[in-house]
Amino acid sequence: MEEIYVRHVELLGFEKRFFPSQHYVYMLMVKWNDLSEKLIYRGYPEIYTFHKSLKEMFPIEAGDIDKKDRIIPALPAPKWLDNQKSTETRQSTLAEYCGSLINLPPKISRSQLVRSLFKVRPEDENPPAQHPLKRNETFVVSNDKTRDNTSEISGPIILESYRVIADYSHTSKYEITLQIGDLVEIVEKTHNSNVCLSAIGELYITTKAYKAAEDDELTLEMGETIEVIHKLLDGWWVVRKGEETGHFPSMFLYRTGEKKEMESEEHVMRRQTPPPRRSTIRNAQSIHSKGRQRISQDTYRRNSRRFLQQKGGRPNQPRKTSKASTQSPLQEWNNRDNIPKTTGSSPGGELKGAPIIPPRPSPELIMERCTENTRKKVSVRKSS
Domain over 6-140 is classified CATH 3.40.640.10: no
For 220-238, b where at least 16 C-beta lie within 10 A, e where not — what string?
beeeeebbbeeeeebbbbb
Distance CA(135)–CA(125), nearest Å, equals 18
User: What's the one-letter identity of residue 333?
Assistant: W
Distance CA(347)–CA(107), nearest Å, equals 124
Contact 210, 219 (CB under 8 A): yes
pLDDT score, position 348: 47
Domains 159-200 and 201-257 in one fold: yes
What number does CATH give the domain 159-200?
2.30.30.40
Tens-binned pLDDT, residue by residue, of the chain (384 aa): 568 899 999 999 999 988 888 899 999 999 999 889 999 999 999 999 999 999 999 999 999 989 899 999 999 999 888 888 999 999 999 999 999 999 999 999 999 999 999 999 998 888 777 777 788 888 887 655 444 444 445 455 566 677 777 788 888 777 888 887 787 777 766 655 555 555 556 788 899 899 888 888 889 999 898 888 878 777 888 888 887 888 899 888 888 765 554 444 444 445 677 877 765 544 444 444 444 455 565 665 566 556 566 666 554 455 544 444 455 555 555 555 555 555 444 444 445 566 778 888 888 888 888 888 888 888 888 776
pLDDT score, position 40: 94
Distance CA(228)–CA(250), nearest Å, equals 10
Its CATH class, for the domain covering 201-257, is mainly beta
From 285, 256, 252, select the one nearest 270 (Cα to Cα): 252
From 95, 78, 98, select the one nearest 24 (Cα to Cα): 78
Distance CA(16)–CA(24), nearest Å, equals 5
- DSSP secondary structure string, 184-222? EEES---TT----EEE--EEEEESS-B--SSTTB--B-T
Run of H or E including 45: helix 44-57
pLDDT score, position 240: 86
pLDDT score, position 127: 77
In the chain, what are the domain boundaries? 6-140, 159-200, 201-257
